[in-house]
Amino acid sequence: MAMISDLEHRTFQWFWDAGDPRTGLVPDRYPSGQTFSSVASIGFGLTAYGIGATRGYITRAQAATRTLATLRYLLDAPQNDSPDAAAGYHGFYYHFLNRETGLRYSHDIELSSIDTALLMEGVLFARSFYDRSTPQEATIRDLADRLYGRVDWQWMKRPDNRLSMGWSPEHQFIPSYWEGYSEGMMAYILGLGSPTHPLEPASWQAWLSTNNQRWGDYYGQTFLNFAPLFGHQYSHAWIDFRGVRDEWARGRQIDYFENSRRAVYAQQAYAIANPGRWQGYSATTWGLTACDGPGESTRKVDGQDRHFLSYSARGAGRDYTQDDGTIAPTAAAGSIAFAPEIVLPTLRDMKNRYGQKIYGRYGFVDAFNPSFHSGQSYWTDSEYLGIDQGPILLMIENWRTGLVWNVMKRNPHIRAGLERAGFEGGWLPAAPAPAVAAPDTRTTQLAPAPATTTRASHPTGDDAPPPAHPS
C-alpha cells in the first residue's frame, strides 16, 4: 500500500506544480518545452485539488484558491467565433490554449466537444466538492454553474442526434462524431443533464446504436470493445457505473464498470499471449492506450523489421489492434479501480524491473518500450501528460475511498444526465453519498470476479483507424 500512496502523492504533485497559480491553466505536458495548455488537463487538475486537500497534500484553502482562480479565468476568457481572439465558443473550449494569453493555441486546434467534457467534469466536481457556506466556496459553486450552463450542447449536436467531435472557424463542424462505447459517453451524459441546453434522450440512443456490433469475445472475455484503455477510464474516473444500467446494459445483464473490467483482463491476456512477440510483455507488464512512443521508425529487432510509432492510440481489441511494444503505465494504473488484483502486481513489477528509468518525481513517466533499443538501453519517455496522469490519480483515489465518485453522486446534473439516458438501479435511487473520504476499504471495494466466458480465437485486429483521443 505504501507504493500506491507514494504514486498517488507524486501524481497529484504533477498537477499542483504544472498548474499556473494565477490562471489555473494546466499544460498538456510537464516538464516540457511545449507551451500550450490542455483544457482536459485543467479538468483533471480541478479534481486533483480536491483530492489533494482531502489527502492533506495541500490545505482546503489552497485547493479552493487555485480552483477559484481557474474558474474565474475560464469564465472571463473570450467566447466568440473569431479564429484568433477566443478561448472558445458557445461555451465549448479549444483543445489547446496558449498558456500566456489563454486563447486558441493555433489554427490547427479545434473547438473540442470531448476536451470540453473533460473540463466540465472537473468543473462539476468543484461544484459539489466545495460545499461549505464560505464566500469563497459559494463563489466557486456560482462560477461552476455558470460555466457548465453556458455549454450549448444543442449547437454541437448533428441532425442525426450525435455529437460532433468539434468545430473550427475555418472549417465549421468537423465530419467526425461520437458514436459507440468510448470516452464520448461522458459528453452525452453531461449534455443530457444540462439545465440550459440539454440533449434529448434520442442522442443517447444514437450513441448506443453500434454497441451490438462491438460486443463479442476477445482473449477470454465477452464485452463491449474499445481497444485503448483510456476509453474505459475517462468517464469512469468521475462517474461510478457499478450497478447502474441503461436499457442496453440491462439487455446484456452487465454494467459498464464490469464491461471495462473485462477489457482490462483481456489486455492482460493479450500481453501474456504476446502475439507480436514484443520484449517484456507478461502477466505483470502490460498496458496499451494512447501515449508517447519512440518515434516513427523501422528497426531490426531479433532479426525482424519492426515499425515503431510516436504518439499514437495504441490498443488491443476486436475493433482494432495497434501495438509497437510501447507500454503506458497509465493503462494499468488508471485501471486500478476496475481490477486491483491484477493491477497492483503489475505496478509493483514494472516499478521493480524498470523503475530506475520510468519512475521519478511525478510517478511513472508516460511510456516506455523494452523492444526499442538505443545503444545499451531501451526507450523511455522523459515527459508526463496531464490526460494520462489524471486517470492514475482519480482512479487510485476511487479505489482507495471512492472520493471522486461520491462527490459526483451528489451533483444533480450528473444524476439527471444518467436518469435521462435511462440508467436505473445501483446508487441512483439512494440518497447522495457523502463527499468525505472514508477509511481505506480496498478489500470491500474490489469488483466482483469477471464472468466465465468462452476464450476467443485471439484475433490480432485489422487496419481500422484508431479512435480519436483528446491529445
Predicted confidence (pLDDT) per residue in 224-279, tens digit: 999 999 999 999 999 999 999 999 999 999 999 999 999 999 999 999 999 999 99
More confident residue, 446 or 414: 414
Q: How confident is the model at residue 25 (pLDDT cuts 50, 70, 90)?
A: very high
Q: What share of the chain is helix, strand, coil (3-state, %, to 5)?
A: 40, 15, 40
Q: How far apart are CA 186 and CA 207, in angstroms?
A: 11
For the entire predicted model, the pTM comes to: 0.91
Q: With CA atoms as reference, report the closest residue to 334 among 404, 278, 274, 271.
A: 404
Q: What is the rounded average pLDDT of the residues 365-382?
A: 92
**What pLDDT does residue 301 have?**
87
Q: What is the rounded average pLDDT of the residues 152-166?
A: 97
Q: Given a cut of 90, is residue 404 above it in pLDDT?
A: yes
DSSP annotation of 146 reads H
Predicted confidence (pLDDT) per residue in 77-133, tens digit: 999 999 999 999 999 999 999 999 999 999 999 999 999 999 999 999 999 999 999
Q: Which helix (H) or strand (E) holds 436?
A: none
Q: How confident is the model at residue 454 (pLDDT cuts 50, 70, 90)?
A: very low
Q: How far apart are CA 191 and CA 151, in angstroms?
A: 8
Q: With CA atoms as reference, report the closest residue to 287 among 326, 331, 321.
A: 331
Phi, psi of 79, rounded to the nearest 5 degrees = -120, 110
Q: Given a cut of 70, is residue 467 above it in pLDDT?
A: no
**What pLDDT does residue 3 have?**
96
Q: What is the rounded average pLDDT of the residues 441-461?
A: 35
Strand pairing report for 384-385 and 312-313:
unpaired
Q: What is the rounded average pLDDT of the residues 185-206?
A: 97
Q: What is the rounded average pLDDT of the residues 412-417?
A: 98
Please report the domains of the chain, with CATH numbers, ordered by start residue: 2-420 (1.50.10.140)
Q: Given a cut of 70, is residue 445 above it in pLDDT?
A: no
Q: How far apart are CA 14 and CA 35, in angstroms?
A: 16
**What pLDDT does residue 451 have?**
37
Q: Given a cut of 80, is residue 168 above it in pLDDT?
A: yes
Q: Given a cut of 50, is residue 356 above it in pLDDT?
A: yes
More confident residue, 257 or 35: 257
The chain-wide mean pLDDT, for the chain, equals: 91
Q: How far apart are CA 16 and CA 208, in angstroms?
A: 37
Q: How confident is the model at residue 374 (pLDDT cuts 50, 70, 90)?
A: confident
Q: How far apart are CA 117 and CA 464, in angstroms?
A: 26
Q: Given a cut of 70, is residue 456 above it in pLDDT?
A: no
Q: How far apart are CA 458 and CA 274, in angstroms?
A: 10
CB contact set of 422 (below 8 Å; sequence gap of 6+): 201, 204, 246, 247
Residue 224 and residue 213 in contact, taking contact as beta carbons nearer than 8 Å: no
